[in-house]
Structure 1
């Protein structure tokens, strides 16, 4: 009897210890639908169920995610494949542990006359500074676009509205919605559907965290993926927290974002349809690495596979 009570006490102590596991997660931007699964896992107690006390911090234009992660001010960040591969080159040993989105959400918004990305040859294209070190080298090489076609994208849609010969970068849940509200007829082309290989909305940690706390990482990955499944089915709890963090976010924009994520199967499409959410493959990472090297964005690196691990996805 005593040993049974001791076992129960130990189990209770273990659960209490898990409940004390404080985790800080940093998103890539101000709170929005594309971050919904993380907020949902907080709002519905999914993180708590896995013994995690998760604090979500918002990113923004002045926040360097990789620096914050390397400095130990966040345990996990919402990352990008290019950032992690570049970080390795710069001596930041981070690692991607899951891909929430099977596609990178970056794409191009155009006026109605453009029916495919190959039609951009005579257009002015608005590109943010980060685009030049990610998707522009891929897009310009694929469709023989010229640097002189580009102009800076300042996250203001007025230049696009004012000129029918302008196309601009965007995300499916954001810029097209703003354009529709303005009565503009637009098309949106997801780069991933044309072969752009990176994953989107990835969970990134430092290699040290993965090595020293693999069980914590596993719980965070499992809980986050549960949170995303829950959010895409019924986003109300997560949306309430999103609006607390970002009061400028409105219900219509959130609803449009959820609709687009479901329609484009970011979470459950591609390999995830067969192998479960969060999945990544060696082949996809190799494509991204080779794209960066061929575009001059990365030097050849014998250790490039340290940018990701599949160890936490085998349970799915």
Structure 2
């Protein structure tokens, strides 16, 4: 009468002795430091969505502790990352012959903005005529801005683009009249210094460009198409959670290290980002 029990116990031990399939390791290369901008991916990690999908995911900041910057697209092309976050630079990479594949547009508008001091008129693109705008020529936001100006070429007097640091000191010291930068970052820096600024979002001028977009390389899809699909699905679940729990996510993300740009209150910055 004990045979069934013994048999069940034996089968259980055999099952436990079987090797457990290892979770597939994936690296997502972020395009900036840890912040609410990537909240959905943190949520997918912290809520266990990646684990449920059989994935072991590393979310890698663009900046290391020593300040070294990792270009997301270069990391993807070279194979040190499986996924990356990009924008218009994805199309630029494809134009160069790289097999880059868009997986999911996450933000529906670009984060780029023109920022000036409060005493500078800034209501529309027409107000940029004759202004010296500080830009980072390697940033995709600059290429978005140039494309926008090109589409309005017959109606606008082009501004002058200058290579100056994208900081409020550049405006205060008169080295430029405006900055082309991330709007929320400039707003937070102005808040900390008690400085009044004006801000014209590129998306408010014309809703042409997506914001952050998740993408990969074709070789990653060829290697494991199912894992790519599971990663995307888990990430989208994470974004749903993040959007429904913004305050919780902003607070938790604020505990992550930053190595390049520091704010007096990381939580205030991330909360401001969450309200965008």
Indicate whether 1:83 and 2:86 are aligned: no
Q: CA RMSD in A?
A: 2.9
Equivalent in the alignment of 1:93:
99
Equivalent in the alignment of 2:144:
135
Equivalent-residue separation in structure 2 for 1:138 and 1:84 (angstroms): 15
1:246 equivalent among 238, 255, 258: 258
Contact 2:28 2:82 in 1 (8 A): yes
Q: How far does the alpha carbon of each residue in 1:242-264 deviate from its partner, in whole angstroms, 9 at most, with x for none?
A: 5323274611111111112xxxx
Equivalent-residue separation in structure 1 for 2:62 and 2:41 (angstroms): 14
Contact 1:39 1:238 in 2 (8 A): no
- Going from structure 1 to structure 2, the CA distance change for 1:23 and 1:131 (only over 3 Å counts) comes to closer
Within-5 A mapping of 1:1-316: 17=21, 20-60=23-63, 62-80=69-87, 82-112=88-118, 113-131=121-139, 134-141=143-150, 142=152, 144-146=156-158, 149-163=160-174, 166-235=177-246, 236-237=248-249, 239-241=251-253, 243-246=255-258, 248=262, 250-260=266-276
| Structure ID, larger Rg | 2
Equivalent-residue separation in structure 1 for 2:173 and 2:275 (angstroms): 28
1:198, distance to aligned residue in structure 2 (A): 2.6
Q: Which runs of 5+ in 1 are unaligned?
A: 261-316
- 3-state SS in 1 of match to 2:212: strand
Equivalent-residue separation in structure 2 for 1:31 and 1:21 (angstroms): 23
Contact 2:144 2:209 in 1 (8 A): no
Aligned residues: 248
Equivalent-residue separation in structure 1 for 2:79 and 2:176 (angstroms): 46
1:86, distance to aligned residue in structure 2 (A): 2.0
Equivalent-residue separation in structure 1 for 2:107 and 2:163 (angstroms): 27
- 3-state SS in 1 of match to 2:62: coil
Equivalent-residue separation in structure 1 for 2:257 and 2:251 (angstroms): 10
Q: How far does the alpha carbon of each residue in 1:66-104 deviate from its partner, in whole angstroms, 9 at most, with x for none?
A: 221112111101122x32222223232111111111112
Normalising by structure 2, we get a TM-score of 0.78
Equivalent in the alignment of 2:4:
none
Q: Which runs of 5+ in 2 are unaligned?
A: 1-6
Equivalent in the alignment of 1:276:
none
Equivalent-residue separation in structure 1 for 2:271 and 2:211 (angstroms): 20
Normalising by structure 1, we get a TM-score of 0.69
More helix by share: 1
